[in-house]
Copies of this chain bind each other. A is one copy, B any other.
Amino acid sequence: MKTYYKKDFPVSEARRYLEPTPAVLLSSLYEDKQNIMTMGWYTILEFTPSLIGCLMSSGNPSFEMIARSKECVINIPTADMIKKITGIGNCSGADTDKFEKFSLTAQAASEVKAPLIKECYANFECRLYDKTLRDKYDFFIFEIVKAHVAVSPKYPETVHYRGDSIFMVSGKNVKEYSAK
């Protein structure tokens, strides 16, 4: 699999990659167990602090792990990883080591204990910031405390879920004034 050379990236500019909400992989660690889930329902909430609101079904083992560890990593996989993205979304960490099953590499983060997924284009280390809406909506607000982004390409090709097994693939980038 392709690996990326990554550099630190300003956390306040996370929207460049996360505002179009590609399907992302959330990695977590609690006690000795690590896990990954696929997530598509999230939004940037603030630049500084760099806040992101995320919906995580409480039926997912990641919910409890992240509620307890208060940390996770949001990883951006590229379109060529679509089988891993859907495979991870369609099995449970309760009985599967998803890093092993999907041949992904857990790499040490710098600010949190949850692992980065090495094969992803970008990794955003997150700490739980606000759990006010957790119990009512399964909605967590995280602060991105450290970002690692591939140096090249400048924009990754990503997939954006529409439901019913359909993904939209990211297209070209345009400057607003270059539109027809």
Contact = CB atoms under 8 A, between A and B. Distances in A.
A142 interface: no
Interface in A13-51: 13, 15-17, 19-21, 40-46, 51
Interface residues of A, number: 51
A16 B163 contact: yes
A43 B21 contact: yes
A15 B163 contact: yes
Interface string A57-85: 00000000000000000000001101100
A111 B169 CA distance: 34
A136 B172 CA distance: 35
Interface of A: 13, 15-17, 19-21, 40-46, 51, 53, 55, 79-80, 82-83, 86, 130, 132-133, 136-137, 139, 141, 155, 159-177, 179-180
12 contacts: A13-B163, A19-B21, A20-B160, A44-B55, A45-B55, A45-B137, A53-B53, A133-B133, A168-B171, A169-B171, A170-B171, A171-B171
